[in-house]
Amino acid sequence: MGVAKSSDYWVSRLCGNDPSDPAGDYNTAWTLTSGVGGSVSGDAWRITDQKWKYTTTKEEMTLISAIGYIATPDEGEVLMALDNGTYRVEVQASNNSNKLNFVGATTTQTVELDLNMTEENPVPCLLRLTLADDGTANLYMKEIIEDDDAVQHYLSVSASASTSQGAFFGNETGTVDWYVVYLTDFGSFSPDEMDMSDWTTNSLMRTGLAVVETLKNSNRFYLKTHVGDAAIVYGYDLSSKAMVNRVHPPSVHVITQRLESPDFLTLSGTRTDQRYNIVLYITTKGTDYKNAYRLGLSIMGEVFDELYTQTGLQDGVDSIISYNAQLDSKMDNDEVVCIHALTLTYMKKVRMFLREV
């Protein structure tokens, strides 16, 4: 799908309030299609018998819910569903009170999710359901894409045929606390492409992760033939083991290092100019340090040119306003790894009025 654009947002945001009357502007209400059993309970909207629908004609959607069982729904109870008029996918209660069924053209079951709310387990279960226009559907649990061993953590199925277009949530059996329901029909977004927080989406995804995506899509010589997609990564871990052993040089590690907003442009704070420092570490390795140094500089040049032309000249959205390059030097006889660092400062114009819930 790709990282969410600055014009993409959550069209409906519920945080335990009445779905028919969400708080804040730019926050669309849901329509009750059946049942009467729903009310505020603490921080959640507690449903014993209600089904809610969001009407849309879009082909790609993302639905996030944070839920906890008070009383387990019947097996086959549809808790979440997305239907784009051609394809449909559902999240259903299973015969195991701590697992869910993910139902499309085929059915698969989740791992243990701790769905039952107790004093020992007071944290609701966070689920992200996505549907793409080609019928690909994913279910992310706890916003995890891969576990610590780099094993895929989410489920994926091909969707079944459409039955009723729209987005749906609720339950007619059992008792379920719905702490959060977020919906966007701007796309089918993974946790790395659009966060529940617009601030996080701007700072991490539209900036750091979008830079990674841009460099992977580049056709420049060194980036394609010497570095390659697998060695262009976001630098969650900048330890020497991660930078050299886990990702073999030459490599490019990207991080969002600093964020600031020197001035709010309006008294009401609805729009700001925000600045982001993006640091790129270009790592090369060789017994001849001079060659590693030169190769790293050639890669850095392509990185700068690609980002300047593709992300730094978007008038009114993103601009690169400054850069700083620190070139490594060999200090010890046994030093074989060269790490050049390039810092780019972006300025973004950010809308601040899509955050209230």
Mean residue pLDDT of the chain comes to: 90
Those residues with Cβ within 8 angstroms of residue 70's Cβ, 6 or more apart along the chain or in another chain: 46, 117, 174, 175, 176, 177
Where is average pLDDT lowest: 116-125, 225-234, 237-246, 257-266?
257-266
C-alpha span between 348 and 193 (Å, rounded): 18
Q: Which of 43, 47, 44, 23 is nearest to 33 (CA)?
A: 47
Neighbour count for residue 170 (Cβ, 10 Å): 27
Backbone dihedral region of 274: left (phi > 0), alpha (psi from -120 to 50 degrees) or beta?
beta
Hey, how many other C-beta atoms are within 10 angstroms of the C-beta on 355?
A: 14
Domains and CATH numbers, the chain: 12-184 (2.60.120.200), 198-351 (3.30.2000.10)
pLDDT band at 270 (very low <50, low <70, confident <90, very high): low
Q: How many CB atoms lie within 10 A of CB 265?
A: 14
Instruction: For 199-317, list the strands marked E by DSSP.
Output: 232-234, 251-260, 271-285, 313-314
Determine the average pLDDT of the residues in 302-330. Answer: 86
Cβ-proximal residues to 268 (8 Å cutoff; 6+ apart), any chain: none
Instruction: Tell me: pLDDT of 34 over 90.
Output: yes
Element (H, E) at 75: none
The percent of residues above 90 in pLDDT, for the chain, comes to: 69
- Residue 308 has phi, psi (to 5 degrees) of -65, -45
pLDDT category, 265, cuts 50, 70, 90?
A: low
Q: How confident is the model at residue 6 (pLDDT cuts 50, 70, 90)?
A: confident
Lowest mean pLDDT among 58-62, 145-149, 348-352: 348-352
Q: Which pLDDT score, from 0 to 100, does residue 268 have?
A: 57
- Residues 54 and 166 sit within 8 Å (Cβ to Cβ): yes
What is the enclosing helix (H) or strand (E) of 126? strand 125-131
Tell me how far apart the alpha carbons of residues 155 and 137 are, in angstroms, rounded to a whole number. Answer: 8
For residue 302, is pLDDT > 90?
Answer: yes
- Give 150 or 138, the one with higher predicted confidence: 138
Better-scored residue on pLDDT, 310 or 65: 65
In sequence order, what are the beta bridge partners of 103? 90, 107
Neighbours of 271 (CB within 10 A): 13
The 3-state DSSP composition of the chain as helix, strand, coil percent (nearest 5) reads: 15, 40, 40
Could you tell me which residue, 330 or 86, shows the higher pLDDT?
86
What is the per-residue pLDDT for 1? 64
Residue 134 has a pLDDT of 96
H or E stretch at 323: strand 318-326
Q: Provide φ and ψ at 53, rounded to 5°.
A: -130, 140
